A and B are shown apart, each in its own frame.
Chain A
Amino acid sequence: MSVLVDADTKLLVQGMTGKEGTFHTLRNRAYGTDVVAGVTPGKGGQDIEGIPVFDTVAEAVHATGANTSMIFVGPRFAAEAILESADAGIGLVACITEGIAARDMAEVHAYLEGTATTLVGPNCPGVISPGLANVGIIPGEVCVPGRVGFVSRSGTLVYQIVYELTSRGIGQSTCIGMGGDPVHGIGFIESLAMFEGDPDTDLMIMTGEIGGDDEERAASFIAERVAKPVVAYIAGFEAPVGKRMGHAGAIVTGSSGTAAAKAEALEAVGVQVARTPSEVARLVADRLAG
């Protein structure tokens, strides 16, 4: 098993006819993902290498039974693309698009609470369950199937760390790139909860970075609800302290948002925190061996 995407995923791609959209759609299909439709308003009736294009998500769902959407629509229209998928009953939306206005995402975030749709992203590399389905831009060839669940804010660190895991023969159940935007879909807590409940995941990795308090809240969640081992990595110990004008951010979170504070919060609840990306794979190997 795995989480979010698997052999039952029937993928629809919003913005498939654009350059990036086409490139990654075909890569996902070559990986073995069941890509059933594309959606581009005004291009209904066309096809891309045999994948039919529809004008609306509702039409595509009706005709193909798509249950997952991947979004490559540009930032001005991407928030609406998420809403369209939610209204068409799509269960999982992975929004790859970078640069969506925070206000638009705040509206989407509030709206999705009343729906059954799960959002990954935006500004994220997507989700892969190695050997089953790849929805997004994570290079499938660096992944192998296995029993480690992985969730990350940074995209490039997913590639880097998965590569090191794979090099050591450690496979992954599912890798989730949650994205780094201030308003986003699922985060560490939702991901860890899914991995905790997944019988085919034995250990999970979370990689965070400076800013916000996602990692601190994940630490509290782990203390209360997670029994499986967790290995973490936080990037940005040496990052320059960002200039900050107002105080409201710190008052809201009660956290400094530094890498040190995050690592400390995680270590306090028994999570092993690696100091380099390579150390992540080492700690995971030790943990699985022991």
Chain B
Amino acid sequence: MDLYEHMGKDLFRAHGIPTPAGRVCGAPQEAAEAARAFGGSAVVKVQVQVGGRGKGGGVELCRSPDAAAVAAERMLRDGFMGHVVDRVLAEELLPIAQEFYTSIVLDRSTGGYLALMTAEGGVDIETLARERPETIRRVQVDPLLGLRSYHVRELTGALPVAAREGAADVVRKLFELLWERDATLVEVNPLVLLDDGRVIALDAKVTVDDNALPRHPDFAALAQEFPIDPVEKRAKDAGLQYVKLDGEVGIIGNGAGLVMSTLDVVARAGAKAANFLDIGGGASADTMATSLEVILSDPAVRCVFVNIFGGITRCDVVANGVLEALTRVDATVPIVLRLDGTNAEEGRRIIDGARHPMIVSVPTMDEAAAEAARLSREAA
């Protein structure tokens, strides 16, 4: 789960990492009040779960309370890169002497943690990593030993002497935060040295491990604050994973790999997925009915492709599930059903015997994708 910047900064402060004074604002007037409280100026920052805010117009320096209100109004009205925006963060403007970058991330290639620091903050850090990798200091952190003093010295050695002590304190606390709160990423871009010598975090990106949410009950409350599409919510409440896309074929499959593969095969057949839903291992009539309801509630869907490979799940059970689901849900578009694997023949016999007018049963994944693409073109 990616946290909003203001949530990340709450965690930073709880762990003693200095941040600018700021207020979360849900209305333009609140941003104006915040600017007044900060002496007449403020930085207004859109709160979204994506990066690229600086380049995308999601951060604005405002020299007056009115300007802050105007910026906040624009952000709350227009959203950011297609994301709904229900809040902005207004922060005090601070005199910056120099900008740096630091992060600690779970490194999947080693199974441990990697801490990074560079004196060249504020720039496009990915470009820097490509073009001048030697400017970025990297330290592998053994999970059994944690971040040690020599790691911290190695990292902060990249910075000017005046910033080292402050940055060392920040990076130590970042690691504590990451460890105690089960984060897989903590990133500060930029970390800044102020004119008065303080080192503070101007930004906060924190990603927490979804698998660890059960041991952090306070994160469950934060999760409620993110906007969620109503269809997605319905799927989630039923324990299914639904993703909206921009094509015309609705896709239901069992297992993440097979669903991803189904999107690829449909694209190769010349169509595009409208959405997809992973029903996981189970494919009971209940699951199937909910899945079809969810998929069919998307008006962009012109055809549904149900792609099931029976492993432990038996295809005859799936076939009966689909038929039962269709007694509860009105199929408004054709359903291409591909059943393969355990008891596939029995499953197909059940489907053929039912002669349901909206079901087209096709034995292989490639042929089924071609049929789904054809039907969705016909319906266009």
Q: Is B a genuine binding partner of A?
A: yes
Any B CB within 8 A of the CB of A101: yes
Residues of B near any A CB (own CB < 8 A): 2, 49-51, 103-109, 111-114, 116, 125-126, 129-130, 136, 142-144, 179, 182, 184-185, 187, 189, 205, 207, 209, 211-212, 214-215, 243, 245, 253-258, 260-261, 263-268, 272-273, 309, 311-312, 340-342, 364-366
From A103, A207, A238, A243, B267 is in contact (CB under 8 Å) with A238
Closest B residue to A244 by CB, please name it: B51
For the complex of A and B, 5 pairs with smallest distance between CB atoms: A154-B257, A156-B255, A109-B111, A101-B212, A156-B258
Give CA–CA (A138, B179) in the complex, Å: 35
Interface code A170-202, partner B: CB below 8 Å = 1, 0 otherwise?
000000000010111000000000000000000
From B116, B256, B260, B311, A139 is in contact (CB under 8 Å) with B311
Given A251-B126, A251-B129, decide whether A155 and B342 contact each other with a Cβ distance below 8 A: no
From B104, B107, B268, A275 is in contact (CB under 8 Å) with B268
Give CA–CA (A205, B257) in the complex, Å: 15
Give CA–CA (A152, B257) in the complex, Å: 10
Which chain B residues lie closer than 8 Å to A163 at the CB level?
A: 309, 340-341
Give CA–CA (A140, B113) in the complex, Å: 37
Which chain A residues lie closer than 8 Å to B113 at the CB level?
A: 106
Q: Can you add 5 more A-B contacts, CB < 8 Å, to A155-B255, A276-B264, A278-B364? A: A212-B109, A235-B261, A244-B51, A245-B51, A276-B265
Any B CB within 8 A of the CB of A32: no
From A99, A103, A138, A244, B311 is in contact (CB under 8 Å) with A138
Any B CB within 8 A of the CB of A277: yes
Any B CB within 8 A of the CB of A87: no
Closest A residue to B106 by CB, please name it: A102
Contact call A247/B312, Cβ cutoff below 8 A: no
For A99, A163, A238, the residue with the greatest tally of chain B CB atoms inside 10 Å of its CB is A238
Near B by CB (< 8 A), chain A positions 114-159 give: 137-139, 141-142, 152-157, 159
Contact call B309/A245, Cβ cutoff below 8 A: no
From A157, A184, A247, B187 is in contact (CB under 8 Å) with A247
Which chain A residues lie closer than 8 Å to B265 at the CB level?
A: 276-277
Contact call B309/A160, Cβ cutoff below 8 A: yes
Contact call B50/A245, Cβ cutoff below 8 A: yes
Interface size class of chain A, counting residues whose CB lies under 8 Å from the partner chain: 35 or more
Which chain B residues lie closer than 8 Å to A277 at the CB level?
A: 261, 265, 365
Contact call B243/A159, Cβ cutoff below 8 A: no
Give CA–CA (A246, B174) in the complex, Å: 15
Any B CB within 8 A of the CB of A42: no
Which chain A residues lie closer than 8 Å to B112 at the CB level?
A: 106, 109-110
From A102, A106, A154, A275, B258 is in contact (CB under 8 Å) with A154
Any B CB within 8 A of the CB of A252: yes
Contact call A276/B105, Cβ cutoff below 8 A: no
Any B CB within 8 A of the CB of A210: yes
Contact call B264/A238, Cβ cutoff below 8 A: yes
Give CA–CA (A36, B229) in the complex, Å: 49
Closest B residue to A180 by CB, please name it: B256
Give CA–CA (A214, B110) in the complex, Å: 10
Contact call A212/B108, Cβ cutoff below 8 A: yes
Contact call B187/A248, Cβ cutoff below 8 A: yes
CB distance from B342 to the nearest CB of A (A): 6
Any B CB within 8 A of the CB of A269: no
Any B CB within 8 A of the CB of A47: no
Closest A residue to B110 by CB, please name it: A109
